[in-house]
């Protein structure tokens, strides 16, 4: 009995120990399960997370933009050269494609890209872009990240993609966050994300492309337009000749808008006037503020940097009036969301800051004489540079700089002294719109074609 009782007590102790162990085990299991669930949720099996941010919110665009950042939550630093990224999409056509690196903390020169065709396409992916890194890209320290990389791609004919059917595109994810539909590989093994179902990536890239190019002179203003050889769209952030417009009003990256009120102004896709090809965008603008109309692109300068260059060809029918009109507008989120506008006054080209109605040049006779009219019934190449960081602007007409449309940081009588009377103007431009807005008199019919946006001067040669 004793022994039994001993055994019994022993058993009891064992049992009670076992119960404790079981409880502990259950707790541990619970903890592990919850940890496991957490780990599964972020898929950080290897402790590596691929973050993505969408840089082009329009579904129809000729320039998809994808931004990436790799987070290293492992206990060791990870060489970037051991990692590859895949971005999965449908290419919507057969022209060859180009990939560009606009910025990478690891250095665009250390990044290479390839377009790889899937052996077994799905409805949302027939191609992936594979990004790999040279050893000079360095390592990601533990609990750190790679810094961002900004990539974009286009077809050789600049025709539109449809991003709506792209596996990796997330239209609403416009800042960095983890995203399981882009994939990351460590030494060739999937380390983050889910590949599109039913597809087996081909083993070797079918189209190797050279290291992605970074636009040169992104932060150094180029004093005079430098003629470019070959395709004038090469190296630019965005290029549109409107030849891919199929409807009667602008679509794709472009949206028609009538800020605050709508009247008789109209915008249409025009196939009777064109600077390039057969198609341009026509604006029928009418006098009176509410008869204004614009077609524009939200986020037009995302990924450009702070030194922005725009080139556009403009044709119109009625000479700029004496009263104030606008044909280019950009929302300045650093100026209580007022527009920075290019247009005319006193029959000559001018810039206007809508928040305080400052003009460039000053509207003195001397100031106006330093600007110029916008000739009618011919295509004119208008180029401008806005340096957001420096608060400066330059403007060119058919390749020649217009002295009166030059804002620097030194007040010049009749040119920019009025503009500079407000210190520290530093625009942050959230969109780009073309159209017509008249603040008094002035009807006009205008055509716009061959729009290019870049971090460097874009040639008028199209
Ligand atoms: Ca697509
Ligand atoms: Ca065209």
Instruction: Kindly indicate the confidence band of residue 231, based on its pLDDT and cuts at 50, 70 and 90.
Output: low
**What is the 397 CA–ligand 2 centroid distance (Å)?**
19
Nearest ligand, CA of residue 165?
A: 1
> Is residue 411 within 8 Å of residue 451, measured between CB atoms?
no
Q: CATH code at 301?
A: 2.60.120.200
Using the 3D structure, point to which of 159, 192, 208 is the last residue of a domain. Answer: 208
In order, the DSSP letters of 147-178 are: --EEEEEEETT-PPEEGGG-TT--TT--S-EE
Are 396 and 348 contained in the same domain?
Answer: yes
Rg value, the chain, Cα: 29
The answer to whether residue 413 is domain-embedded is yes
Tell me which ligand sits closest to the C-alpha of residue 451: 2
CATH of the domain at 150: 2.60.40.710
Ligand nearest the Cα atom of residue 282: 2
Instruction: Kindly state whether residues 276 and 374 are assigned to the same domain.
Output: yes
Find the 26 Cα to ligand 2 centroid distance in Å.
69
Domain finish residue from 188, 208, 228: 208
Evaluate if residue 207 carries a pLDDT over 50.
no
In a domain, 226, yes or no: no
Q: Is residue 383 part of a domain?
A: yes
The closest ligand to the CA of 278 turns out to be 2
Average pLDDT of the segment spanning 391-414: 97
What pLDDT score does 236 carry?
84
What is the tally of structural domains in the chain?
Answer: 2
Instruction: Identify which of 18-27, 36-45, 316-325 has the greatest average pLDDT.
Output: 316-325
- 163 Cα–ligand 1 center, Å: 4
Same domain assignment for residues 150 and 294: no
pLDDT of residue 197: 81
Rounded Cα distance between 167 and 248, Å, is 29
Q: How confident is the model at residue 23 (pLDDT cuts 50, 70, 90)?
A: low
Which of 208, 226, 255 finishes a domain? 208
Place of tokens 């000079």: 136
**Mean pLDDT along residues 287-303:** 93
pLDDT averaged over the chain? 85
Q: How far is the CA of 460 from the centre of ligand 2 (A)?
A: 14
**Residue 363 maps to a domain:** yes
Distance 257 CA to ligand 2 centre (A): 21
Ligand showing the shortest atom-to-Cα distance for residue 167: 1
If asked whether residues 349 and 427 sit together in one domain, one would say yes
From ligand 1's centre to the CA of 246, what distance in Å?
Answer: 17
Ligand nearest to the CA of 164: 1
| pLDDT category of residue 30 using cuts at 50, 70 and 90 | very low
User: What per-residue confidence (pLDDT) applies to 332?
Assistant: 97
As a whole number, mean pLDDT of residues 67-87 equals 95
Q: Closest ligand to 126 CA?
A: 1
Q: How confident is the model at residue 21 (pLDDT cuts 50, 70, 90)?
A: low
Q: Please give the Cα distance from 336 to 169 (Å, whole number).
A: 31
CA 240 / ligand 2 centre spacing (Å): 8
Answer whether residue 288 shows pLDDT above 50.
Answer: yes
Q: What is the pLDDT of residue 98?
A: 87
Does residue 307 surpass a pLDDT of 70?
A: yes
Going from the Cα of 114 to the center of ligand 1, the distance in angstroms, rounded, reads: 17
Statement to judge: residues 189 and 244 lie in one domain: no
H or E, element range at 5: helix 2-42
* Contact by Cβ (8 Å): 313, 379: yes
Residues 161 and 271 grouped into a single domain = no
Residue 33 lies in a domain: no
Per-residue pLDDT tens over the stretch 314-354: 999 999 999 999 999 999 999 999 999 999 999 999 999 99
Do residues 281 and 395 share a domain? yes
Q: Considering the domain boundaries, does residue 254 fall inside one?
A: yes
Which pLDDT does position 186 carry in this prediction? 93
Q: 355-388: per-residue pLDDT in tens?
A: 999 999 999 999 999 999 999 999 999 999 999 9
- Could you tell me if residue 222 is inside a domain? no
How many CA within 13 A on the CB side of residue 310?
Answer: 26
Smallest-distance ligand from the CA of 93: 1
Ligand nearest to the CA of 122: 1
DSSP-assigned states of every residue in 133-146: E-GGG-EEPTTEE-
Q: Which ligand is nearest to the CA of 97?
A: 1
Same domain flag for 334 and 432: yes
pLDDT digits (tens, 9 = 90+) for 254-276: 999 998 899 999 999 999 999 99
Please check whether residues 262 and 200 belong to one and the same domain: no
**How far is the centre of ligand 2, averaged over its atoms, from the C-alpha of 280 (Å)?**
5
Please tell me the predicted confidence (pLDDT) of residue 43: 41
Q: Are residues 255 and 201 in the same domain?
A: no
Question: 196, 332, 253: which is closest to 63 by C-alpha?
Answer: 253
Distance 166 CA to ligand 1 centre (A): 5
Write out the residue range of the structural domain in which residue 308 sits. Answer: 238-454
Ligand 1 is an ion; its neighbours by CB within 5 Å are 90, 92, 161-162, 165-166
Whether residues 288 and 326 fall in one domain: yes
SS3 letters across 85-128: EEEEECCCCCCCEEEEEEEECCCHHHEEEEEEEEEEEECCEEEE
Contact of 446 with 283, CB cutoff 8 Å = yes
For 166, the token pair is 């792209």
Q: State whether 148 and 81 are in the same domain.
A: yes
Whole-number Å distance, alpha carbon 324 to ligand 2 midpoint, is 28
Does a structural domain hold residue 24? no
Whether pLDDT at 285 is above 60: yes
At 107, list the tokens.
Answer: 């250095």
């Amino acid at each position: 009995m004793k022994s039994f009782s001993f055994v019994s007590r022993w058993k009891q102790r064992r049992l009670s120990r076992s119960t404790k162990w079981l409880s502990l085990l259950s707790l541990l299991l619970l903890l592990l399960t919850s940890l496991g669930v957490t780990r599964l949720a972020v898929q950080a099996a290897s402790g590596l997370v691929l973050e993505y941010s969408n840089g082009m919110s329009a579904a129809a665009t000729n320039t998809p933009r994808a931004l990436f950042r790799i987070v290293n939550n492992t206990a060791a630093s990870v060489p970037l050269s051991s990692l590859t990224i895949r971005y999965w999409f449908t290419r919507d056509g057969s022209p060859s494609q180009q990939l560009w690196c606009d910025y990478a903390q690891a250095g665009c020169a250390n990044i290479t890209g390839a377009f790889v065709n899937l052996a077994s396409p799905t409805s949302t992916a027939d191609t992936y872009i594979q990004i790999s890194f040279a050893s000079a890209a360095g390592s990601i320290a533990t609990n750190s990240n790679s810094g961002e990389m900004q990539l974009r791609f286009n077809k050789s004919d600049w025709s539109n993609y449809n991003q709506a059917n792209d596996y990796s595109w997330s239209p609403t994810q416009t800042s960095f966050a983890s995203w399981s539909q882009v994939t990351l590989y460590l030494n060739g093994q999937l380390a983050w994300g889910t590949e599109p179902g039913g597809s087996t990536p081909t083993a070797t890239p079918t189209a190797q492309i050279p290291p992605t190019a970074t636009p040169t002179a992104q932060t150094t203003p180029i004093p005079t337009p430098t003629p470019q050889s070959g395709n004038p769209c090469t190296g630019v952030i965005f290029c549109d000749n409107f030849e891919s417009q199929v409807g009667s009003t602008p679509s794709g990256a472009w949206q028609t808008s009538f800020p605050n009120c709508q009247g008789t102004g109209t915008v249409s896709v025009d196939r009777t006037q064109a600077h390039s090809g057969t198609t341009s965008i026509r604006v029928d603008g009418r006098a009176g503020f509410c008869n204004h109309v614009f077609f524009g692109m939200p986020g037009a300068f995302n990924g450009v940097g702070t030194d922005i260059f725009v080139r556009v060809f403009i044709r119109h029918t009625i000479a700029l009036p004496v009263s104030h009109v606008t044909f280019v507008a950009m929302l300045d989120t650093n100026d209580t969301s007022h527009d920075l506008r290019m247009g005319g006054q006193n029959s000559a080209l001018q810039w206007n800051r809508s928040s305080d109605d400052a003009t460039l040049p000053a509207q003195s006779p001397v100031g106006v004489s330093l600007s110029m009219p916008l000739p009618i019934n011919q295509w004119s190449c208008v180029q401008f540079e806005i340096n957001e960081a420096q608060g400066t602007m330059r403007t060119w007409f058919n390749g020649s700089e217009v002295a009166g449309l030059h804002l620097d940081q030194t007040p010049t009588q009749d040119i920019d002294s009025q503009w500079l009377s407000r210190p520290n103007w530093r625009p942050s431009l959230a969109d780009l719109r073309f159209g017509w807005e008249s603040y008094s008199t002035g009807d006009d019919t205008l055509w716009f074609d061959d729009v290019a946006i870049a971090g460097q001067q874009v040639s008028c040669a199209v």
